[in-house]
Amino acid sequence: MITTRAARRRGLPQGLATLLLLAPALGVVLVLFGGGVVMGVLASLGYQPFLPGRDLSLDAYRGLLDDVEVRRSLVLTFRIALLSTLVSAVLAVGAALLLRGTRRGRRAALLVFQLNLPVPHLVGAAAMLLLLGQSGLVSRLLFAVGLVDAPAAAPVLTNDAVGWAIMAEYVWKEVPFIGVVVLAALSGGVSDLEDAARSLGAGAWSRFRFVVLPHITPAVVSTSIIVFAFTFGSYEVPLLLGQPFPATLPVVAYQAYSDTDLTARPRAMAIAVLITFLVVLVVLAYSVLTERVLRPAERRRVTGT
């Protein structure tokens, strides 16, 4: 109401003022993001802007279904993203509870906990390479205690079939990310509720399950959505730490895209569209699922049943 009055005084109708304020941000998103999605779909169907056209077809998508590389890459990408997100979320909740209860050295602990938040993922990947590679620091430590007698005898943690180093990098980066948001959620009056629960005789597990967990669920859900989407679509981490075949989907997409043979373009675009589609699908499914399973009480309140 106040804004309406203010806008009128400036001589602009509210709707127009809103539109003008939003225009630059919407411009960036609609042109770059919207344009990218639409052009990606068109290019996957064989459309080439500024070049002599071909007939639109679903050939690229049909090709993906028969493509062993893409199928194996899909499984690998899903597994890495899912495991990294799950492990990060569990460790982050534990870390947040741990840090919340820390009294002595709390400031220092929080500082160290947040230290890697602004570190670029490429640097994290480089660090993992020097840490977990077969001649890396871990292998040297194993040599020092006599468990390994040569780099070749060290466990293969980088450029491997499982993707250990990739997952290690994601977990390393994302535990503080989720943890910081969970800590913020925990600072909002939940300890009073815990005290009330304790005085009513609730044990440690009950207090966690019925007081703390519902309180932090929104924070965990929203951050783990971001983490899953990121780990599914990240390029540089699996490029540096993963094996060449099968690589994760973004790496395969980029390889196909940078192929000098332009007929590989629709395939690259189809993989890019597949990545977008799957991320959106998983995020939607996850949102619906958590809404139903974890917050029935809230839903009841909203729907009034």
Q: Tell me if 101 contacts another protein by CB under 8 A.
A: yes
User: Among 118, 122, 116, 156, which Cα is nearest to 136's?
Assistant: 156
Q: How far is the CB of 1 from another protein (least distance, A)?
A: 9
Among 109, 190, 197, 221, binds another protein (CB under 8 A): 109
Q: Tell me if 141 contacts another protein by CB under 8 A.
A: yes
Residue range at the interface with another protein (CB under 8 A); choices 63-71, 92-100, 207-215, 297-305: 92-100
Q: Tell me if 121 contacts another protein by CB under 8 A.
A: yes
Return the HEC string of the chain. CHHHHHHHHCCCCHHHHHHHHHHHHHHHHHHHHHHHHHHHHHHHCCCCCCCCCCCCCCHHHHHHHHCHHHHHHHHHHHHHHHHHHHHHHHHHHHHHHHHHCCCCCHHHHHHHHHCCCCCCHHHHHHHHHHHHCCCCHHHHHHHHCCCCCCHHHCCCCCCCCCCHHHHHHHHHHHHHHHHHHHHHHHCCCHHHHHHHHHHCCCCHHHHHHHHHHHHHHHHHHHHHHHHHHHHHHCCHHHHHHCCCCCCCHHHHHHHHHCCCCHHHHHHHHHHHHHHHHHHHHHHHHHHHHHHHHCCHHHHHHHHCC
Which of 132, 246 has the CB closer to another protein? 132
Q: Tell me if 115 contacts another protein by CB under 8 A.
A: yes
Cα four-point dihedral sign 56, 62, 67, 71: positive
Which of 33, 245 has the CB closer to another protein? 33
Q: Tell me if 16 contacts another protein by CB under 8 A.
A: no
144-173 positions binding another protein, by CB under 8 A? 144, 151, 172-173
Q: How far is the CB of 17 from another protein (least distance, A)?
A: 8
Q: How far is the CB of 222 from another protein (least distance, A)?
A: 9
Residue range at the interface with another protein (CB under 8 A); choices 10-18, 62-70, 208-216, 293-301: 10-18
Residue range at the interface with another protein (CB under 8 A); choices 34-42, 57-65, 207-215, 291-299: 34-42
198-237 positions binding another protein, by CB under 8 A? 204, 223, 225-227, 229-230, 232-236
1-16: burial string, b at 16+ Cβ within 10 Å, e else? eeeeeebeeeeeeeee
Q: Tell me if 137 contacts another protein by CB under 8 A.
A: yes
Q: Tell me if 240 contacts another protein by CB under 8 A.
A: yes
Q: Tell me if 116 contacts another protein by CB under 8 A.
A: yes
Residue range at the interface with another protein (CB under 8 A); choices 57-65, 66-74, 183-191, 290-298: 183-191
Q: Taking CB under 8 A as the rule, which mask of x and - marks residues 55-74 in contact with another protein?
A: --------------------
Residue range at the interface with another protein (CB under 8 A); choices 68-76, 156-164, 179-187, 293-301: 179-187
DSSP tally for the chain: helices H, then strands E: 16, 0
Which of 196, 281 has the CB closer to another protein? 281
